[in-house]
Amino acid sequence: MDEARLSEYPFLTKAAEYVAGMDSTIDEILISRGYGMARSRAKSRVIQAIKGEIRNEDMGLDIPELLSYPIARILVSCIDDAFLVRRYALAEAKFANSRMGKEDDNILTEIGQDFNINASIAEKGFRIHFTDYIRGAAGMRALKWKLVNRTLESGYVNITKEQYARLLQEAIRVRILKALPLDVPDNFCQAMADDIKEIRTCLEEIKKEFDEEGFGEVEPGDFPPCIVHLLSSAQGGVNLAHSARFALTSFLLNIGLSVDQVVQMFNVSPDFNEEMTHYQVDHIAGSTGTSYKPPSCTTMITYGNCYNKDEICRNIGHPLSYYRKKKKTHQEKLAESAIHESNMPESDKHEGTIHESSTHENSSVKRRDIKNNE
Ligand code: SF4
C-alpha cells in the first residue's frame, strides 16, 4: 500500500512503523502547535466514536489524519473506561469498513495479511482457508457466519467482498480493543487535560442517555442483576451469546418495551444488522404467533447468564418475578411516603426547609468565626 494511503488504515503495522520512524517525538506531537490539527482530529475521532460513528474529515493532509489515530488511542487510554474502549474500537473498525467496501481487492488482501488472514481473490469475491474463516468469524453471532452454513471446497470458503470486509472489520476491532488501554505516562495525559475533560463530558452524557433512554413506565432501577449486566454489556458493544441476547430481548419485551426500542438497544453491538435484529426481535415478540417468555433462573444459570445474584434472588425463580417483586416494594415505599407526607401538619412539611436555612446560618456563623480567628 502506498504510504500516502496509510492514514486511511492507521491500525496497520506499516502505519505504526511509519509513525515510529518520524523525526518528531510523541512529546512534541502532544504539545507543539504544529501538530494542533492532528490533536484536534484525534479528539473529534474519539467524540465521534462515543456518539457512534467516526466520520471522514477531509483535512487535505495525510499526516495529521495519520497521527490523529495514535493520539486518539492515548486520549482513550488516559480516560481508561471499558465502555469507551469498546465503543472506540468498534467505531474505528466500522470506519475502516466504510472504506474497505469500496476498496481495490488487492488492498483488501494486503490488509488481511497484516492480520494473518490469507485470502485470495476469487471470481465472486474472496477464497479463504476455513481456519482463517473460523478465527475471523469467532466474534460474529449471526447464524449465517457459522461454518456449517458455508460451502466448504477443499478446505476453503468462498465469501463475497462485503463479507470479507466484514471479517476484516472484526479483526480490526479485536486488535484495537486488545491493545487498549495503553500504559500512558501521566505527563501525556496532563498535556491533553482540556481535550480529556471534553471527551469525559461527552462520555457521561451518552452513558446517561443509555440509562434513561426510552424506558417509559419501565423501571430500569428494578431490573434483576443478570439483566443489568447483559444490558450494560450490550450497550457497551459486547457481542452477546445467542442465549444472552434471547434472555435480554425477551425480558425487555415482556416488561413493555417496544420492538423498535429493543432493536435500537443493540445498535452498538459489533455485528449489528438492523434488518436482521429487527426480524429476530419481532420473532421473539410474537410476529409468528408465538411470543416467548424469558428463561427461568435455572436456565439462566445453566447458560452462564446469571450474574451478581443478590438477596432478592434467593426467594425468586424467574427474572420477571424479581422485577415484579422489586417494583412492587419500590411502589409500596413511594405510596407509604406519600401517605406519611399527606398526614403531616402543614408546618412540618417545611421542616426540611427550616433545617436547611438553620444549617446555612450555622455555617455562616462558623465562617465568621474562622475569619475572626484570622
Ligand atoms: S438468580 Fe435469577 S434473577 Fe437473580 S441474577 Fe440470577 S438469573 Fe437473574
Output the 3-class SS for the chain. CCHHHHHHCCCCHHHHHHHHCCCCCHHHHHHCHHHHHHHHHHHHHHHHHHHCCCCCCCCCCHHHHHHHHHHHHHHHHHHCCHHHHHHHHHHHHHHHHHHHCCCCHHHHHHHHHHCCCCEEEECCEEEEEHHHHHHHHCCCCCHHHCHHHCCEECCEEEECHHHHHHHHHHHHHHHHHHHCCCCCCHHHHHHCHHHHHHHHHHHHHHHHHHHHCCCCCCCHHHCCHHHHHHHHHHHCCCCCCHHHHHHHHHHHHHCCCCHHHHHHHCCCCCCCCHHHHHHHHHHHHCCCCCCCCCCCHHHHHHCCCCCCCCHHHHHCCCHHHHHHHHHHHHHHHHHHHHHHHHHCCHHHHCHHHHHHHHHHHHHHHHHHHHHHHC
At residue 371 the predicted structure's pLDDT band, cuts being 50, 70 and 90, is: very low
Ligand 1 — pocket residues by CB below 6 A? 224-226, 297, 300, 306-307, 309, 313, 319, 322
Between 164 and 346, the more confident residue is 164
User: Which of 43-57, 110-124, 136-150, 306-320 has the weakest average pLDDT?
Assistant: 136-150
Give the residue, by CA position, lying nearest to ligand 1 atom 4.
313
Determine contact, residues 287/265, Cβ cutoff 8 Å.
no
Give the residue, by CA position, lying nearest to ligand 1 atom 2.
297
**CA 72 to centroid of ligand 1, rounded, Å:** 39
In the chain, what percentage of residues exceed pLDDT 70? 83
Between 223 and 235, the more confident residue is 223
pLDDT score for 275: 72
Instruction: Tell whether the model's pLDDT for residue 361 goes beyond 50.
Output: no
Determine contact, residues 89/190, Cβ cutoff 8 Å.
no
Instruction: Tell whether the model's pLDDT for residue 353 goes beyond 90.
Output: no
Can you list the domains of the chain with their CATH numbers?
Answer: 3-195 (1.20.930), 215-325 (no CATH)
The pTM of the full predicted model, rounded to 2 decimals, is: 0.63
Q: Which of 303, 309, 318, 325 to mutate to test the pocket of ligand 1 (most atoms within 8 A of CB)?
A: 309
pLDDT score for 277: 83
**CA 295 to centroid of ligand 1, rounded, Å:** 10
Over residues 13-24, the mean pLDDT reads: 93
**CA 304 to centroid of ligand 1, rounded, Å:** 11
pLDDT score for 337: 66
pLDDT score for 215: 42
Give the residue, by CA position, lying nearest to ligand 1 atom 1.
313
pLDDT score for 341: 59
Per-residue pLDDT reduced to its tens digit, 164-194: 999 999 899 989 999 999 999 999 999 999 9
pLDDT score for 148: 85
pLDDT score for 368: 25
pLDDT score for 176: 95
Nearest to 322 by CA among 364, 294, 352: 294
